[in-house]
Amino acid sequence: MGISKIWVYGETTEAGVTAGTLELVTKARSLADTVEVVMAGDASAVSGELGAHGAATVHTVGDLAGSLPGTKVASAIAGALAAGVGPDVLLAATSYDGRDVAGRLSAKVDRPVVTNVVDLVGDGDRLLGSEPVFGGTTDVLTGFTDGGLAIFLVRPKSFVAEESGGGPAAVAELAVGDLGNTGGALVKDRFVEESTGPKLDEAAVVVSGGRGLGEAEKYEMIETLAKLVKGAPGASRAVVDAGWVPYSYQVGQTGKVVKPTVYLACGISGATQHLVGMKGSANIVAINKDEEAPIFGIADLGIVGDVHKVLPKLIEALQARG
Amino acid sequence: MNVVVCVKQIPDPADPGALDPETKTLKRDVKLILDESDSYGVEMGLQLVDAAGEGEVRLVSMAPNNEMSGLRTALAMGAESAVLVSDEALAGSDALSTAKVLAAAIARCEPDLVLAATESSDGYTGTVPVQVAELMDLPSVTFGKEIAVVDGVATVKRQTEAGYDEVECPLPCVVSVTAGVVEPRYPSFKGIMAAKNKPVEELDLAGLGIEASTVGWTGARQEITSIAEAPAREAGEVIVDEGDAHERILAFLDDLKVI
């Protein structure tokens, strides 16, 4: 008994394989006999890193030639399934492209997706996904009732990436099938917005701002503070909805799940939507005017005070330290 | 240009609801409202139709019990009409079942562009827009921040980890939009009055030609094997700022050696 073959959708940046992918490969090797990666782009450049984390083979659909990964990678996986060489389980990170791949594949092969998974548990020859619901107060374990492909979208930071000591993974080409009308979207240009600090979901310190900041201009205090503590700036959904900062800043149930060493919540009351995204932080500091704010129920250090008074002093004190 | 916007009517997020221990589905005995995430798609659709100078925004929604109070909100914003799918067999539907229903309903509208939120506020799977696109054999661009349509091609700024991609996509296509990218208009009094008389086409699964066994609980092919209370996090020390709280924060950070 047990799961025979897991494929992980592999994502890369110029810096190599993403943390989310390596976490999934690491976890997968404790769950299945064979762990393989399916990706787009140059697999040979990352076969060492993926092999070191436990992947035996890296299947690539090759250069995307401007396409978004979702359609091509999903088509290739569907082709492998049809040919009888596909996986029993597909794991993808809850990322922009991970969701596209899982969603496309799901509809293509008529298999549902278990989403927002934060833990995976083996159950005989199937896998169960654990999902937090109701603001993280309840954990629900879900599994498929039949033997077909099981697709799971897993939140980054659910597992810790560790090398297995394995050698480089074998590289294999995976053919993309006929895309019909689905392949029309083409990337014409890429824009990198200036960001000097660590990534939001990888930073040791996250400084997040909420409605309590009062106005968009005050978000600058969050950016300044984040820079001073070499952390990443984040935001509550209210601030993203108001258009102060882009969606990529959002911490919460909708948005990113972060687990930094310290999470500093500034002017965030702590709606369940937000708490789900940050309650896994090792330490939480909260500043809020309202002493009844739910954020104080989970903060290790809670400051009942005005962010407009506390933050400038904190920033000044850090600047004075140089 | 005809735009279909997928909208979801959800229980008020301020009242998070609970699972029915018998059926293991969400208790749905509260009034549903328009998911705020969807108001951005509605606004964007209205703006694109305005820019095109012709066409209309149509809403497509799936909800239990022919619920349409959330639809009325979007109609009051300026959408012209709506298609609402309700069927008892849809209970327990997951994202793929929802996508099957929406895709069938959208196809009847023959739109040039389909807009959706990136994810709903209550289910937040974030997979429905691409599943709809795949089922309809359409291209898609997800996580759109900005959309312009010129000569049958949508140019979409797509959010990425590092910034954004500029993506071109021929119509018809599906685009999911992130929150905060446009400012949803407040329904005017006139709009609210007009919405009461706007057409809402009500359909069931048979009307869409969907086999009941392919959606809902049977279509989900999943089971919840356990529901458990998550470990709670303890509250720590709470102090009132007397003008020196920043020193406490500094000391806290120093102790953790993160600064």
Q: Residue A177's closest CA among A81, A41, A36, A47?
A: A81
Residues A78 and A156 occupy one common structural domain: yes
| ipTM, interface predicted TM-score of the complex | 0.94
Query: Which residue ranges of chain A lie beneath pLDDT 70?
Result: 1
Within a domain: residue A197? Answer: no
| Cis before B172? omega within 30 | yes
Task: Tell me how far the alpha carbon of residue A42 is from its chain's centroid.
Answer: 22
User: Which of A148, A190, A310 lies closest to B165 in CB terms?
Assistant: A190
Q: Which 120-179 residues of chain B touch chain A by CB within 8 A?
A: 121, 124-135, 137-143, 145, 155-156, 158-170, 173, 178-179
User: Which of A146, A247, A317 lies closest to B180 in CB terms?
Assistant: A247
Q: How far apart are CA A275 and CA A135, in angstroms?
A: 7
Rounded to 5 degrees, φ, ψ at B8 are -115, 140
Q: How far apart are CA A222 and CA B252, in angstroms?
A: 18
Please tell me the distance in Å from B234's CA to the nearest CA on chain A.
6
What pLDDT is stored for residue B104 in this prediction? Answer: 98
User: Which of A106, A181, A241 lies closest to B131 in CB terms?
Assistant: A106
Residues A151 and A220 occupy one common structural domain: no
What pLDDT is stored for residue B162 in this prediction? Answer: 85
Q: How far apart are CA A177 and CA A120, in angstroms?
A: 30
Q: How far apart are CA A235 and CA A248, in angstroms?
A: 9
Within a domain: residue A79? Answer: yes
Residues A48 and A101 occupy one common structural domain: yes
Burial class (CB in 10 A: 0-12, 13-18, 19+), B29: exposed
Confirm or reject contact between B10 and chain A (CB < 8 A). Answer: no
Domains of chain B are 3-220 (3.40.50.620)
What pLDDT is stored for residue A4 in this prediction? Answer: 94
Q: How many CB pairs under 8 A join A and B?
A: 298
Residues A162 and A229 occupy one common structural domain: no
Give residues with Cβ within 8 angstroms of B186, minimum separation 6: none
Record: contact A145-B128, CB cut-off 8 A: no
Chain B residues lying within 8 Å of A253, measured CB to CB: 124
| Mutation for B interface: A71, A95, A106, most B CBs within 10 A | A106
**How many domains are contained in chain A?**
2
What amino acid is encoded at A108 in this protein?
K
What pLDDT is stored for residue B38 in this prediction? Answer: 97
The CATH number linked to A64 is 3.40.50.620
Q: Which 83-102 residues of chain B touch chain A by CB within 8 A?
A: 94-97, 99
- The answer to whether the beta carbons of residues A50 and A17 sit under 8 Å apart is yes
Residues A164 and A225 occupy one common structural domain: no
Report H helices in A96-249. Answer: 96-109, 219-228, 237-241
What pLDDT is stored for residue B16 in this prediction? Answer: 59
Q: Residue A74's closest CA among A178, A188, A185, A4?
A: A178
Within a domain: residue A149? Answer: yes
Q: Which 176-205 residues of chain B touch chain A by CB within 8 A?
A: 178-181, 183
User: Which of B135, B167, B221 lies closest to A186 in CB terms?
Assistant: B167
What pLDDT is stored for residue B28 in this prediction? Answer: 59
Please tell me the distance in Å from A267's CA to the nearest CA on chain B.
14
Q: What is the pTM of this model?
A: 0.94
Within a domain: residue A122? Answer: yes
Across the 259 residues of chain B, what is the mean pLDDT of every consecutive 10-residue run? 97 74 71 93 98 98 94 98 97 95 98 96 93 98 97 96 94 96 95 97 97 94 92 92 97 94
| Single residue among A155, A173, A191 that ends a domain in this structure | A173
Parent domain of A60: 3-173
Chain A residues lying within 8 Å of B17, measured CB to CB: 134
Strand locations in B45-162 (E): 57-62, 81-85, 113-117, 140-150, 153-159
